C-alpha cells in the first residue's frame, strides 16, 4: 500500500483524500491544514490524522479541540508521496522539503511546469511519469482540453486549435471572490491553457484565450480545431463516447418539431450530477454537448463544460500509480480508478 499524505485540505485536497480511500493500492496517512476551519470535520470523521502546517499553529488546533499528530515535516517523513494541494504558486516552495525527506510529490495545475519538469494527464502522457519523483497534474481546464483533443489528434491529425475558456470567477464556497458584476478578459495571449496543453500533448499547435464571468459552478470551452483530414461528426461522437472521462450530453431534445430544454447550460449539468448521486454532486467527466458538435470542411467546432472542483481528482490517483509503477498501462489504471470512484 502506498502511503499518501495530503498537504492542503481544501477544494482539491479533500477530494483527493476521499478518492485515495476508495483505492485498494494506496491509503491516507495524514492531512495538513493551516487552520482548524470547518473542512477539518471531514478529515476527523474519516479518521485521517491531522497535522498542523507549522509548530506555531499547533496551539490553534488544540484550542479548538483538534488533536494534532505533528507538523508538515512529520507527515512528509512517513509518506511515500505527498499530494501538494497548497495554493497555487506556493506549493513549489515545498520541493526542497520533499527532496530532503526522499518523498515523492504531486503538485496541481496552479504551479508552473518548469520547476517540476513533468506534467501529467492520464490519457495523453501517462508513461512520462512512470517512476518519476516529482509530477504536476495539469489544471482543470488543461485536463478538459487534453481529454477531448487527444483522441481527435490520434484519429484525424490536428493542424491547429483555437479555444476560448469561459471561466468561472470563483468556486461556490469562495464568497470572498464570488460572482462579480463584470466580464473580465485575460488580456495576455495565449492564456496559460494552450502552453499547458503542450506539456501533456507534445507538438500540438494550440492558441487559447480566456474570459472570467460571474458564475461559480463550471467553466465552458468554445473550441475550433482545424484537422488534417475532414472529420465525420458521428464518428467523432462515437470516438468520444468510448473515451474515458468524457460524457456526451444533449442540450436540447427534439419532438414533433418542438425544441425541449434538456441540459442547455452548466446549471442543469450540475443538477444532473447531483441527480446521478455522484459524490458531492461532482462531475469528474468532461461534459460535451453532442448537439453542439459541428464540422465544416476540415474544421471541427464544439463546446464542453469543466467541473473545476473535480475533473483532476482521478488524474491524481493515476499519477500515483504511474510514479510507483503500480500499473504501466494507462488504460488499466484509468479504468481501475473509474471503477473505484463510480465514474461511468
User: Tell me, what's the pLDDT at 178?
Assistant: 64
* CB-neighbour burial class of residue 255 (10 A; exposed 0-12, middle 13-18, buried 19+): exposed
User: Tell me, what's the pLDDT at 194?
Assistant: 96
Question: Taking residues 254-268, what's their average pLDDT?
Answer: 95
- When the pLDDT of each residue in the chain is averaged and rounded to a whole number, the result is 96
Distances (CA, A) of 101 to 17, 95, 154, 324: 21, 10, 40, 17
Distance separating alpha carbons of residues 196 and 220, to the nearest angstrom: 17
Please give the share of the chain, as a percent, with pLDDT higher than 90: 93
Asked whether residue 172 carries a pLDDT value surpassing 70, the answer given is yes
Bridge partners of 163?
208, 223
Question: Taking residues 186-198, what's their average pLDDT?
Answer: 95
Distance separating alpha carbons of residues 269 and 310, to the nearest angstrom: 14
Q: Is 81 helix (H, G, I), strand (E, B) or coil?
A: strand
pLDDT digits over 285-331, tens only?
A: 999 999 999 999 999 999 999 999 999 999 999 999 999 999 999 99
Does pTM surpass 0.85? yes
Q: Is 112 helix (H, G, I), strand (E, B) or coil?
A: coil
CA atoms within 13 A on the CB side of 283: 28
Give the model's confidence band at 179: pLDDT under 50 very low, under 70 low, under 90 confident, else very high: low
List of E strands, the chain? 2-7, 26-33, 50-52, 70-71, 81-84, 104-107, 119-120, 134-137, 158-168, 184-185, 206-213, 219-227, 246-249, 252-255, 258-261, 286-289, 294-296, 299-306
What lies within 8 Å, CB to CB, of 282 at 6+ separation is 15, 273, 307, 309, 310, 313
pLDDT digits over 202-216, tens only?
A: 999 999 999 999 999
CB 16 within 8 A of CB 83: yes
**Whether 140 is catalytic:** yes
User: Tell me, what's the pLDDT at 174?
Assistant: 77
Give the model's confidence band at 161: pLDDT under 50 very low, under 70 low, under 90 confident, else very high: very high
Options 140, 146, 166, 322, the catalytic residue: 140
Q: What domains appear along the chain, each with residue ranges and CATH number? A: 2-138+312-341 (3.40.50.720), 140-306 (3.30.360.10)
Q: Is 267 helix (H, G, I), strand (E, B) or coil?
A: helix
pLDDT digits over 83-116, tens only?
A: 999 988 889 999 999 999 999 999 999 999 999 9
User: Tell me, what's the pLDDT at 180?
Assistant: 74
Give the model's confidence band at 5: pLDDT under 50 very low, under 70 low, under 90 confident, else very high: very high
pLDDT digits over 116-141, tens only?
A: 999 999 999 999 999 999 999 999 99
Residue carrying C-alpha cell 458531492? 280
User: Tell me, what's the pLDDT at 81?
Assistant: 98
Asked whether residue 57 carries a pLDDT value surpassing 80, the answer given is yes
Distance separating alpha carbons of residues 227 and 302, to the nearest angstrom: 13
Amino acid at each position: 500500500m502506498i502511503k499518501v499524505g495530503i498537504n492542503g485540505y481544501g477544494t482539491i485536497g479533500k477530494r483527493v483524500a476521499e478518492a485515495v480511500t476508495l483505492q485498494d493500492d494506496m491509503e491516507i496517512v495524514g492531512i495538513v491544514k493551516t487552520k482548524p476551519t470547518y473542512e477539518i470535520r471531514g478529515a476527523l470523521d474519516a479518521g485521517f490524522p491531522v497535522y498542523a502546517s507549522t509548530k506555531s499553529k499547533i496551539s490553534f488546533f488544540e484550542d479548538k479541540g483538534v488533536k494534532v499528530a505533528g507538523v508538515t515535516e512529520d507527515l512528509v517523513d512517513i509518506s511515500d508521496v505527498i499530494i501538494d494541494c497548497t495554493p497555487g504558486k506556493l506549493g513549489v516552495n515545498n520541493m526542497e522539503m520533499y527532496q530532503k525527506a526522499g518523498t515523492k510529490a504531486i503538485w496541481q495545475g496552479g504551479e508552473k511546469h518548469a520547476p517540476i519538469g513533468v506534467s501529467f494527464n492520464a490519457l495523453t502522457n501517462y508513461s512520462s511519469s512512470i517512476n518519476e519523483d516529482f509530477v504536476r497534474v495539469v489544471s482543470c481546464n488543461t485536463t478538459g482540453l487534453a481529454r477531448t483533443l487527444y483522441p481527435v489528434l490520434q484519429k484525424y491529425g490536428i493542424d491547429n486549435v483555437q479555444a476560448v475558456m469561459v471561466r468561472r470567477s470563483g468556486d461556490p464556497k469562495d464568497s470572498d471572490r464570488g460572482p462579480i458584476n463584470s466580464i473580465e478578459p485575460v488580456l495576455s495571449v495565449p492564456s496559460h491553457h494552450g502552453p499547458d496543453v503542450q506539456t501533456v500533448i507534445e507538438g500540438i499547435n494550440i492558441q487559447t484565450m480566456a474570459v472570467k464571468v460571474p458564475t461559480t459552478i463550471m467553466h465552458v470551452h468554445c473550441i475550433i480545431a482545424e484537422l488534417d483530414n475532414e472529420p465525420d461528426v458521428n464518428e467523432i461522437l462515437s470516438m468520444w463516447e468510448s473515451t474515458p472521462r468524457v460524457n456526451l450530453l444533449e442540450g436540447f431534445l427534439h419532438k414533433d418539431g418542438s425544441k425541449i430544454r434538456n441540459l442547455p447550460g452548466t446549471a442543469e449539468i450540475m443538477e444532473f450530477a447531483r441527480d446521478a448521486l455522484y459524490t458531492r454532486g461532482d462531475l469528474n467527466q468532461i461534459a460535451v454537448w453532442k448537439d453542439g458538435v459541428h464540422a465544416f470542411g476540415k474544421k471541427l467546432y464544439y463546446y464542453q463544460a469543466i467541473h473545476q472542483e473535480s475533473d483532476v481528482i482521478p488524474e491524481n490517483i493515476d499519477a500515483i500509480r504511474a510514479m510507483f509503477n503500480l500499473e504501466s498501462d494507462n488504460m488499466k489504471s484509468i479504468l481501475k480508478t473509474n471503477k473505484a470512484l463510480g465514474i461511468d
